[in-house]
Structure 1
Amino acid sequence: MRRHTMQSYMRAAQAGEELQDENGESRPDQEGLNPDGEEALAAEDAEAAAEQSQVEARIKAEVEELRLRSAAEMDNFKKRLNREHQEQMRYAAEKVLSDLLPTLDNLDLALQYGSKHEACKDMLQGVAMTRKLLLEAVTKHGLTPLGEEGEEFSPEVHEAVGFEARPDLAPGVVARVLQRGYKLGDRLLRPAKVMINQ
């Protein structure tokens, strides 16, 4: 209100009119106008402009920070989707390969027990070739067998089902593989069931 009144006084003074104060009373032309009042008015305008520019700068900084944060979140979202897609593609065959494990187990058993009979010798060659072809096919998809006699026992890939004494092997190693384990990439599908040498 004060600023508006000061501006009215200044315009009236320039036009040579008689000035009126807030109560409507007349004031002499130059008496009510004060050079300090003009400076105060200019100072207030400068202060208001400075305050407004600070507010604008703060709003711009907040908007820029929000834009950068949104861009970073979007980038992280894209990376996560890409990672999940790669993971899904890598392990897409897990269910099918898991279903093939009993077939490989039966072929292993046929080779193990059929080798004791001389009459099965020719048939065992066919079984061995079938097992080899099947194992090559699943290996192309990342499946690798686990568990060999004489290897160091590891609870990460072996499941101990008992102990066995074999003097030809060091203590604590796999003495016999009862059921082969399998791994798909870095993921363990099934641990190998083994006997540990005492």
Structure 2
Amino acid sequence: MDLLRNIRYNAVTKCLHATASNQEPQQMTDKKAPTTYQTMTEDQQKKQTQHDINQSSVSAEALEPNQQTESKSKATEQINNVEQQLQQTIVDLEQKIADQQKELQDSKIRNLADIKNIQERYSREAATTKAYAHQYFAKDILDIVDALDQAEQSLDGKQKEGIQLITEMLQKAFQKHHIETIDPTGENYDHHFHEAMAMQPSETVADNHVIQVVQKGYRIKDRLLRAARVIVAKNPK
């Protein structure tokens, strides 16, 4: 601050001396009255110069706080702008994270649902495989059962009793494995489980009903092993 005042003092002094020098010839030519500064003594001139310097310093010092305030305001505004940008960036990132978390949660739920469906399908397939695993073996035995039925009809006495005993044992084994006999005598013809071998009129059996079973049918639960071969009544209207 002292250096600044000295510089300003020297500048003002030079300016005043220059003004005085320029005015002396003019006084001699025009014979005008001397200026107030020229009539001052050397001490008064120094005091006036110092006063002018002080006034300049006061003016400069008065401007400095305004400049500082303006700079501070600009800095504060810049800081506020940066804070707003950072805050918006944080909000955007939080929203992005929330969206990604929701997407991951939805994906997790879908994956769990898919896994559950696969497990349920596998369980059903395993149960079905277990339930019908012996169907091919059962089909091979049906021919033996047919032979035993024919032998039972043609034999009598103890031989017939022996055949009947074997047949009963086979029927119990069939029941254990859910193998059912299809014997639709007198029932309405059903093409899902019956195979019509012939059509003939009947006075005792209603139209489209089974008159006679030529060969019994078999099924495992709801799956057909062999259709029953039947003769169906076809009465003229």
How far, CA to CA, are the matches of 1:128 and 1:31 in structure 2?
118
Partner of 1:85: 126
- Runs of 4 or more off by more than 4 Å in structure 1? 28-33
2:145 alignment partner, one of 104, 119, 129: 104
How far, CA to CA, are the matches of 2:150 and 2:233 in structure 1?
22
Q: TM-score, normalised by structure 2?
A: 0.65
Structure with max Cα Rg: 2
Structure 1 residue 68 corresponds to structure 2 residue 103: no
Number of equivalenced pairs:
165
Partner of 1:173: 209
Deviations 1:31-52 (CA, angstroms, capped at 9, x unpaired): 5551332222221111111111
Q: Could you say what the CA RMSD is over the residues aligned between the two structures, in angstroms?
A: 1.8
Indicate the structure with greater helix content.
Answer: 2
Partner of 1:39: 80
* 1:30 Cα deviation from its structure 2 partner: 6.4
Partner of 1:148: 184
How far, CA to CA, are the matches of 1:136 and 1:153 in structure 2?
27
Mark the runs of 5 or more structure 1 residues left unpaired by the alignment: 1-27, 115-119
8 A contact 1:146–1:192 mirrored in 2: yes
* 1:107 Cα deviation from its structure 2 partner: 1.6
The percent of aligned pairs where both chains have the same amino acid is 25
* 1:100 Cα deviation from its structure 2 partner: 0.5
1:121 alignment partner, one of 152, 156, 165: 156
8 A contact 1:147–1:194 mirrored in 2: no
How far, CA to CA, are the matches of 1:97 and 1:66 in structure 2?
47
Indicate the structure with greater strand content.
Answer: 1
